């Protein structure tokens, strides 16, 4: 999760979600998600992504590319097709402030890479919709982290955000076991979130889909640990932003949760006076700032946030399995309204 990003300017638009009829929940599919979650799959993803060998998965580095190749291999294993016409990768340049200042002085576009500009990779797979393939439910999670210390100690980022990435992969696997949904479900592995939500912002800037074709964005970030604001074993989950664009997303979220998962959904960070400003600090905000319905699912801040102690051994896989069942069920519900 990004330390802090100060951006403002939500504005209203006609929402696709508000146009769709609400029907009964698909209880059979939801029960199948709950029964089929694999902790061994989640563990395998975590132990790979948060290993020392991936050196903290910093955006623009070779280690980011190794992680991206792993994500693509998993989606191929599930049978999820590339979302983009040219494949799974949405590449974009990472400009330092020096590059941007130089481009501005020379009156050149800052989107034109220089030879030494690192390139970052978003990864996008999908389950194509059978009836409305050009309407989208997006599930996002950033797979980058902050690399290594100057002394070479690795920020493994097991919770931030190997946890959300593993959840997204397992959601994708479960959805791939069912017949195609009505609408396209996009599995969006963002990068450069730690550098300012750059991957998600670039998705929007490059108009990969019209914003008014998005039903909702469900974002998973830091799901494997707990904070000190709840009892240690409390089955809580922060749900942030789900009614800012429309109350309908929160209504569906709660109905699905009551049927499948039993989370104690905590909405405290929707408070406009939240000093942490968490609504603005993960990839959903790239869409929310344009009025797209979003929900940000989050386990809370802890003592290893952006420290080298964020390791796999501290991850609660029961929480991750419950998050998979919940996010898969809600995404399936939204895609089949």
What confidence tens digit (pLDDT) does each residue in 154-165 have?
999 999 999 999
Q: What is the DSSP letter of 264?
A: E
Rounded distance between C-alpha atoms, residue 200 and residue 178, angstroms: 28
SS (H, E, C) 267-325: CHHHCCCCCCCHHHCCCCHHHHCCCCCEEEEECCCCCCCCCCCCCHHHCCHHHHHHHHH
Residue 147: what pLDDT? 98
Structure tokens at 143: 């797979």
Residues 6+ apart with CB under 8 A from 163: 46, 220, 222, 223, 224, 225, 299, 315, 320
**What architecture does CATH give domain 16-335?**
3-Layer(aba) Sandwich (3.40)
Structure tokens at 167: 């959840």
Q: Where are the domains of the chain?
A: 16-335
Instruction: Looking at 121-210, list the stretches that DSSP marks H as alpha helix, in order from N- to C-terminal side.
Output: 164-176, 198-205
Residue 115: what pLDDT? 64
Q: What is the DSSP letter of 160?
A: I
Q: Which of 259, 248, 228, 223 is nearest to 238 (CA)?
A: 223
Residue 102: what pLDDT? 43
| Stretches in the chain below the pLDDT threshold 70 | 2-13, 96-115
Residue 112: what pLDDT? 57
Residues 6+ apart with CB under 8 A from 158: 46, 50, 224, 310, 311, 312, 314, 315
Q: Is 264 exposed, middle or buried (0-12, 13-18, 19+ CB in 10 A)?
A: exposed
Structure tokens at 329: 């069920």
Residue 237: what pLDDT? 98
At residue 141, the 3 state secondary structure works out as: strand
């Amino acid at each position: 999760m990004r330390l802090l990003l100060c951006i403002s300017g939500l504005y209203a638009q006609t929402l696709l979600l508000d146009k769709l009829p609400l029907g009964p929940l698909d209880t059979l599919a939801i029960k199948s998600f709950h029964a089929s979650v694999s902790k061994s799959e989640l563990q395998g993803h975590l132990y790979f992504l948060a290993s020392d060998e991936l050196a903290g998965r910093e955006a623009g580095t070779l280690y980011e590319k190794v992680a991206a190749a792993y994500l693509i291999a998993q989606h191929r294993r599930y049978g999820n097709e590339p979302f983009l016409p040219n494949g799974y990768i949405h590449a974009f340049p990472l400009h330092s402030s020096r590059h941007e200042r130089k481009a501005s002085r020379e009156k050149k576009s800052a989107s034109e890479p220089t030879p030494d500009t690192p390139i970052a990779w978003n990864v996008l797979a999908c389950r194509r919709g059978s009836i409305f393939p050009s309407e989208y439910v997006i599930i996002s999670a950033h797979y980058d982290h902050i690399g290594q210390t100057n002394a070479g100690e690795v920020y493994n980022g097991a919770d931030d955000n190997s946890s959300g990435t593993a959840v997204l992969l397992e959601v994708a696997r479960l959805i791939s076991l069912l017949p195609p949904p009505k609408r396209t479900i996009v599995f969006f592995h963002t990068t450069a979130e730690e550098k300012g939500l750059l991957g998600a912002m670039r998705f929007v800037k490059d108009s990969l889909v019209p914003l008014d074709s998005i039903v909702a964005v469900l974002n998973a970030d830091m799901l494997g640990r707990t904070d000190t604001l709840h009892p240690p074993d409390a089955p809580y989950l922060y749900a942030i932003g789900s009614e800012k664009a429309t109350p309908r997303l929160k209504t569906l979220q709660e109905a699905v949760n009551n049927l499948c998962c039993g989370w104690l959904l905590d909405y405290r960070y929707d408070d406009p006076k939240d000093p942490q400003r968490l609504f603005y600090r993960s990839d959903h905000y790239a869409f929310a700032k344009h009025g797209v319905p979003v929900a940000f699912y989050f386990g809370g801040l802890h003592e290893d946030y952006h420290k080298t102690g964020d390791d796999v051994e501290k991850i609660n896989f029961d929480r991750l399995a419950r998050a998979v069942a919940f996010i898969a069920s809600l995404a399936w519900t939204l895609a089949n309204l």
